[in-house]
Amino acid sequence: MKTIISLLFLGLLSTSVSAQANDWSLIVLGMAQDAGYPQAGCKKSCCEAYWKGENPKQHATCLALLNEKSKEAWLFEATPDIKDQIHALDTLGYQLSGIFLTHAHIGHYAGLIHLGREVMGTKNIPVYAMPKMKSFLENNGPWSQLVSLNNIELKELKNEEAILLNGTTKVTPFLVPHRDEYSETVGYKITGPNQSTLFIPDINKWETWDKDLADEVNKVDYALLDASFFKDGELVGRDMSKIPHPFTSETMELLKALPAKEKSKVHFIHFNHTNPALFDSPERNQVFEKGFNIVKEGQVIGL
């Protein structure tokens, strides 16, 4: 038996996705880098294509963990596009029950402002964060007001220690190297009754991580990995070594020896507006030809 889920973002995107009926699932509510697509101030052809009506809007990277029985939903990231993403949950009949944050870069926590008294005025929404991230929110406005007014209730995470949701699904944070100006950075392993998913939207080069990427892919059923940039030179006039994400091309090269079944687990996410693989292009075709995948908004992953 299959469940058909239709997701509508303000008429900009309509996607129908089939997923095996399951109490637990993940849904992709965004796949772009922090600023989404198009990006403010971009006059390049990549974003001009949106204003000309040639490409659809893409929301900042966000997942929602859904429980079909309880109709609870936990967001992974509080993005600048959170209003659309919460609307998607409302449309699907789910109640926001918590938010897991990865780090303090704008695309991953700035959406918390919508929980405050100027907008939603929420009551004690659990927000899961690592110690430095928690301290950053507690001690810096306007985030500290969310805490003092009990709009959010901060829940401290610990590296490699799982949070159990409804007794059946585990969310395990793990530290990854990144530009940690204000907080540490984590990825998450989300383990349901039947399947598991790795979520790493932001990381420095893979060789700086203390784990082997191929081994980690082998341990899960899906791996949603940082695809900010496709290759070096993509940002003309900028030293891309100062923005040390793994290039999509590098990740594919690193994992090229994996069997086809293992490579197909990899779904790229967190695309910068300049990454040509975000839309139809030779680079996008290359991803699929090499046996890898790209997430799409509205995609459902059964757990």
Q: Provide the percentage of residues in the chain whose pLDDT is more than 70.
A: 92
pLDDT of residue 4: 35
Is 98 strand, coil or helix?
A: strand
Per-residue pLDDT, 22: 65
- Looking at the predicted structure, is the pLDDT value of residue 10 above 90? no
2: pLDDT confidence band, cut at 50, 70 and 90? very low
Q: Hey, which residues does 136 pair with through a beta bridge?
A: none
Q: What is the mean pLDDT of residues 194-208?
A: 97
Q: How confident is the model at residue 118 (pLDDT cuts 50, 70, 90)?
A: very high
- pLDDT 10s digits, 161-190: 999 999 899 999 999 999 999 999 999 999
- Return phi, psi of residue 6, to 5°: -105, 130
pLDDT in tens, 27-56: 999 999 999 999 999 999 999 999 999 999
- The percentage of residues in the chain with a pLDDT greater than 90, rounded to a whole number, is 87
Alpha-carbon gap, residue 63 to 84, rounded angstroms: 13
Using alpha carbons, select from 263, 283, 252, 184 the residue that is nearest to residue 223. 263
| Residue in 190, 265, 187 with CA at minimum distance from that of residue 221 | 265
What is the domain partition of the chain in residue ranges? 2-7+16-302
Amino acid 242: pLDDT: 74
Q: Strand pairing of 24-30 and 13-20?
A: unpaired
- The tens digit of pLDDT for each residue in 239-294 reads 767 778 999 999 999 999 999 999 999 999 999 999 999 999 999 999 999 999 99
Alpha helix positions (H), 53-122: 82-92, 106-109
For domain 2-7+16-302, the CATH class is alpha beta
